[in-house]
Amino acid sequence: MSLTETERSQFNIRPVWRWVASLLLLVVGYIHFTLFWTMIRFNHVMGILFLIAVVGSLVAIIGIVRNARVWGWGLGIAVAGGAALTRALMSIFPGLAIMLMRLGRPAFPGNGRFSPGSFPFRQGAFPAGGSGSGAYPPTGFNGTGVFRGNFSAHHFPHLGTFAGGGGAMVPISIAIEAAFVVIALLVIFQRQQSHRTG
């Protein structure tokens, strides 16, 4: 029996928890996919980070279904927990959103120009690029470190733009990611307890 098979045999949990966790992580991956599809047109660094989160979510789902601790539950905690922490910090510290936006530049020509007044809490944070239709972000931040833009670059139903459909949807996005983290930690703790008693 291989090491991976041994690990899985010692890490048996109720299938319902695996499927619930997989569903939550699938939602997390979908949210990040819609964010990738939107942000890659304006900021390639953020877009790539969102894409990495999507790939990480899919790999973690496969690992969870196969009952793998490290590249299943562990990777899922890293993806969902990291996303929830980042969203929470961006909501608490709006300046963090500006810093992240300055990491990347437009991935495609004709997009990503900045217009004066787009950022209500920090005027002049970005170079002015006129008030054309390519101004970025189209409707600025909502004051909580997330976009409130009305992007039309894709047709995916989703929970919002940069961190989940305006400020109202941010807690829902964080709650989904936090729920997965809680389940994953409980499962890992249960595994540790079973290992000790076994």
- DSSP, residue by residue, 48-92: HHHHHHHHHHHHHHHHHHTT-IIIIIIHHHHHHHHHHHHHHHHHH
Which pLDDT value is given to residue 26? 96
Reported confidence tier of residue 46, pLDDT bands at 50, 70, 90:
confident
Q: What is the pLDDT of residues 126-139, one digit of tens each?
A: 333 333 344 444 43
Which pLDDT value is given to residue 168? 54
Reported confidence tier of residue 38, pLDDT bands at 50, 70, 90:
confident
Residue 12 within a domain = yes
Residue 135 within a domain = no
Q: How many domains does the chain have?
A: 1
Identify whether the C-beta of residue 77 lies closer than 8 Å to the C-beta of residue 96: no
Residue 110 within a domain = no
Residue 116 within a domain = no
CA distance linking residue 117 with residue 194, whole number of Å:
57
- Identity of the residue numbered 130: G
Reported confidence tier of residue 183, pLDDT bands at 50, 70, 90:
very high
Residue 137 within a domain = no
- Identity of the residue numbered 149: G
Residue 58 structural domain: 3-105+142-149+157-197
Residue 86 within a domain = yes
Check whether 198 has a pLDDT greater than 50: yes
Q: What is the mean pLDDT of residues 77-93?
A: 90
